[in-house]
A and B are shown apart, each in its own frame.
Chain A
């Protein structure tokens, strides 16, 4: 039972993380499309935010497992 709950929790974390990453990636694409000359800065910011999100998701995954 506990294992199943763990799996469900992991799934929720992955869904949340995926949504977040999708938002970041999509907005970054839009931003780059709007201002291609700022692509470098946008990418760096995107990676940082992505990493923060990932840290959060991984933290949850590891604490849950």
Chain B
């Protein structure tokens, strides 16, 4: 990916090695950097940058690092295709995304058996039978095609699998170490405090000493999945895993179901018949409390999605400064400004990556803790604690 490629010269080196090894189309030893910058007319105007960033923020069906135009004026793409798996009107279809030839504007039609597919803005559509070309309605939506259930190994799914594999290998090795010695060495020495942190700072105080054990696998998995995904999103590979609303929705939905299924009698009582409150108030409170059940996970999914999306957007916009400010300040100043600002924001993003994982896990355990807590509210009705709980619930 071009903007990510520009991020640092260091990463570019590693990337080039990686990309050339995986390149679809063979090409000679070309100075990619030179090519991309002088490659005029590609991503130079504000609108192009904006659409480029939006394209990055969306999921994609191939692993695409960057593109360039060679001397013969051919567009070259560095990356590798990923398998497309869709459920069309003609049943499940499997093919490689290279069949779309990097097209994202419904130009290339792929025929698979009885079904014809095309890709528009990172979404795969199936053409209605009988139609030969895509036609659009007034809102630039295809009128003679419909979306298919697309469970492809997209870039995000690929990233998720990679993150899952990384987590599994890391913690499996840590778990193995405990069989030999009680204090781990090497990487385990870094991982163990993280596990302890999740257990002692997040789960224990929020869920309670007696009940936290049951939820540890979920909390630990989610914490590390979000954290590593966030960090992977900061690398020039251009993943945007936790910036996909489907993924954050899924995570929030898991928390939602875990909260509802582990909730005890007190929790439901607090929702449907709040104790120590006048009857009229109870009736007013029911819809508010019911709404609260859904707003809590909703705020979880929006927060993670928005933070990561905003982070990627800001980083990419700052990288684009070197192009947008070039006319005003010249190449050196605009590039320097861009590098300094991007570095600054990237450091903050590293912090945000951790913070969002922490907050997601923290709030999940807080909600679980609320659901499994045993209240003894009858003795001290309307005390400070209850007020805090209520305010917190409304706030969320």
Contacts and interface: CB of A to CB of B under 8 A. Distances in A.
A and B touch in the complex (CB under 8 A): yes
Contacts of A59: 298-299, 302-303, 306
Contact of A58 (B201, B302, B355, B363): B302
- Report, as a range, how many residues of chain A touch the other chain: 10 to 19
Interface residues of B, number: 18
Contact of B306 (A44, A48, A52, A62): A62
Interface string A7-42: 000000000000000000000000000000000000
B303 A54 contact: yes
B299 A55 contact: yes
B359 A51 contact: yes
Contact of B303 (A44, A47, A51): A51
Interface in B195-221: 201
Point out which of B302, B363, B395 has the most chain A C-beta atoms below 10 A from its C-beta. Answer: B302
A62 B363 CA distance: 21
A45 B305 CA distance: 22
A55 B358 CA distance: 14
Contacts of A51: 303, 355, 359, 362-363
Contacts, number: 41
A38 B115 CA distance: 64
The main secondary structure of chain A at its interface with chain B is: helix
Contacts of B291: none
A39 to B, nearest CB: 14
A4 to B, nearest CB: 17
A22 B303 CA distance: 19
Given A54-B307, A58-B302, A48 B201 contact: no
Contacts of A58: 302-303, 306-307, 310
B226 interface: no
A60 to B, nearest CB: 10
Contacts of B307: 54, 58
B245 to A, nearest CB: 9
B366 interface: yes
B355 A47 contact: yes
Contact of B396 (A47, A52, A54): A52
B366 A48 contact: yes
A55 B303 CA distance: 5
A48 B310 contact: no
Interface in B328-380: 355, 358-359, 362-363, 366
Contacts of A52: 299, 363, 395-396
Point out which of A56, A58, A61 has the most chain B C-beta atoms below 10 A from its C-beta. Answer: A58
Nearest to B355: A47
A52 B298 CA distance: 11
Point out which of A52, A55, A61 has the most chain B C-beta atoms below 10 A from its C-beta. Answer: A55
Contact of B362 (A48, A54, A56): A48
Nearest to B205: A44
A15 to B, nearest CB: 17
Interface string B230-261: 00000000000000000000000000000000
B211 to A, nearest CB: 20
Given A51-B362, A62-B302, A62-B306, 19 more contacts: A44-B201, A47-B359, A48-B362, A48-B366, A51-B303, A51-B355, A52-B363, A55-B299, A55-B300, A55-B302, A55-B303, A55-B306, A58-B302, A58-B306, A58-B307, A58-B310, A59-B298, A59-B302, A61-B306
